[in-house]
């Protein structure tokens, strides 16, 4: 993703509430509520010595990682980190690293309840983009970015600018890949962050729970017939949707769906309403996040478009919802599989 977030150019309406599973839905709309799977448990493995207690190991010769064409060496675990966008911050909190975070910029959704206390204790730099100077004011030794736009050269936040200021940078691997993103890429992201902060045991525990959540969803679904799914993020003249290479596409597949725009070899794409009609989705999945109309407003908009009147999802009023943070390379993605599966196939819950 190259922009600040999906739908960044769409109409922005004030949001006074965080994302909610039970939104006000227009009369007659069928919207299945999911029984949300248990979320990540941050495990600290207790031991008597060494790194088995979850503490960073001795720095030794340091750790070198490859990231988006750059080789980065950490002589010791970073101690002062700015998380730019929400999913890097939640990744660190899931790994028990919240004490290393000195700032957060540009959140998209409310924090997961289990992370709420730790998350809200992190100083907020900005609700939108932060300047290079605002980030440097936190005296970080690492900036962990979620999207390419974290390191926007036009805004003075290039990776080279941070390097020249003595600050290391790391970008979510989802932004580096030129192929479809999978859950294996998420597991590798967790391992890499675990290596950088020298907490590999915690990373292994988080990955094990992620895998277990996906396995549970698969067992419930069995050999269910996939439903055709269209993602509506935002848009009026065209529709901004999840295409075939982002992890959102894999979430749909694992949840018993088939993304009707999976053939578009991008992570996000603008498509025409005529294309949506032609591909006849059974269910429309709406992405919910700050800075866009609320879920019920998006539903009303879609129901009011005459060109969509014959789309099965519109005729049958079949809508589901995920938060934006469910659908990026972060700790929520594996559990979004069960959350979406329960909405697409409620009979298999």
- Residues 91, 162, single domain; the answer is yes
- Residues 177, 257, single domain; the answer is no
- Residues 244-274 pLDDT 10s: 999 999 999 999 999 999 999 999 999 999 9
Query: Which of 163, 198, 233 marks a domain boundary?
Result: 198
- Residues 194, 72, single domain; the answer is yes
Q: What pLDDT sits at residue 48?
A: 31
Whether 38 and 184 have beta carbons less than 8 Å apart is answered as: no
Q: Is residue 56 part of a domain?
A: no
Whether 146 and 88 have beta carbons less than 8 Å apart is answered as: yes
Q: Is residue 50 part of a domain?
A: no
Phi, psi of 214 (to 5 degrees): -70, -40
- Residues 274, 184, single domain; the answer is no
- Residues 228, 129, single domain; the answer is no
Distance of CA 131 to the CA centre of its chain: 23
Q: Is residue 44 part of a domain?
A: no
Mean pLDDT by 10 residues, the chain (349 residues): 45 33 41 41 34 38 90 97 96 96 91 88 94 98 96 96 98 93 97 97 97 95 96 96 96 98 95 98 95 92 96 98 94 95 93
- Residues 116, 237, single domain; the answer is no
- Residues 71, 105, single domain; the answer is yes
pTM (predicted TM-score): 0.82
Structurally, how many domains does the chain consist of? 2
246 vs 3: CA distance, rounded Å: 14
- Residues 35, 70, single domain; the answer is no
Q: Is residue 268 part of a domain?
A: yes
Segments forming the whole domain that contains residue 117:
62-198
- Residues 181, 255, single domain; the answer is no
- Residues 110, 76, single domain; the answer is yes
The DSSP 8-state label assigned to residue 98 in this structure reads G
Q: Is residue 250 part of a domain?
A: yes
Q: Is residue 18 part of a domain?
A: no
Query: Which of 149, 164, 198 marks a domain boundary?
Result: 198
Radius of gyration of the chain (CA): 20
- Residues 133, 254, single domain; the answer is no
Q: Is residue 291 part of a domain?
A: yes
Q: What SS3 state is found at 227?
A: strand
185 vs 68: CA distance, rounded Å: 13
- Find the CATH number of the domain harbouring 259: 3.40.50.1980
Q: What pLDDT sits at residue 61?
A: 57
Q: Is residue 52 part of a domain?
A: no
- Residues 246, 322, single domain; the answer is yes
296 vs 84: CA distance, rounded Å: 29
- Residues 41-83 pLDDT 10s: 333 333 333 333 333 344 445 899 999 999 999 999 999 999 9
């Amino acid at each position: 993703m190259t922009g600040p977030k999906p739908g960044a150019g769409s109409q922005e309406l004030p949001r006074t509430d965080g994302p909610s599973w039970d939104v006000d839905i227009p009369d007659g709309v069928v919207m299945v509520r999911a029984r949300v799977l248990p979320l990540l448990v941050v495990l600290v493995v207790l031991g008597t010595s060494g790194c088995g207690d979850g503490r960073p190991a001795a720095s030794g010769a340091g750790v070198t990682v490859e990231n988006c064409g750059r080789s980065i060496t950490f002589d010791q675990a970073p101690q002062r980190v700015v998380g730019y966008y929400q999913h890097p911050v939640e990744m660190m909190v899931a790994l028990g690293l919240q004490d290393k975070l000195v700032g957060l910029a540009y959140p998209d959704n409310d924090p997961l309840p289990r992370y709420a206390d730790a998350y809200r204790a992190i100083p907020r730099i900005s609700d939108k983009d932060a300047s290079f100077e605002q980030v440097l004011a936190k005296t970080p030794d690492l900036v962990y970015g979620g999207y390419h736009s974290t390191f926007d050269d036009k805004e003075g936040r290039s990776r080279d600018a941070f390097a020249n200021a003595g600050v290391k940078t790391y970008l979510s691997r989802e932004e580096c890949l030129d192929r479809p993103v999978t859950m294996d890429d998420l597991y590798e992201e967790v391992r890499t962050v675990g290596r950088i902060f020298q907490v590999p045991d915690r990373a292994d525990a988080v990955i094990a729970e992620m895998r277990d959540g996906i396995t549970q969803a698969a067992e419930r679904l069995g050999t269910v017939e996939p439903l055709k799914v269209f993602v509506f993020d935002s848009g009026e003249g065209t529709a901004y949707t999840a295409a075939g290479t982002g992890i959102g596409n894999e979430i749909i597949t694992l949840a018993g769906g088939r993304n009707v725009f999976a053939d578009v070899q991008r992570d996000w794409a603008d498509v025409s309403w005529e294309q949506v009609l032609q591909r006849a989705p059974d269910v429309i999945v709406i992405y919910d996040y700050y800075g866009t109309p609320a879920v019920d407003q998006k539903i009303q908009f879609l129901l009011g478009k005459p060109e969509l009147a014959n789309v099965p999802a519109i005729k049958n009023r079949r809508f589901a919802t995920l938060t934006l943070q469910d659908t990026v390379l972060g700790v929520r993605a594996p559990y979004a599989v069960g959350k979406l599966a329960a909405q697409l196939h409620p009979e298999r819950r």
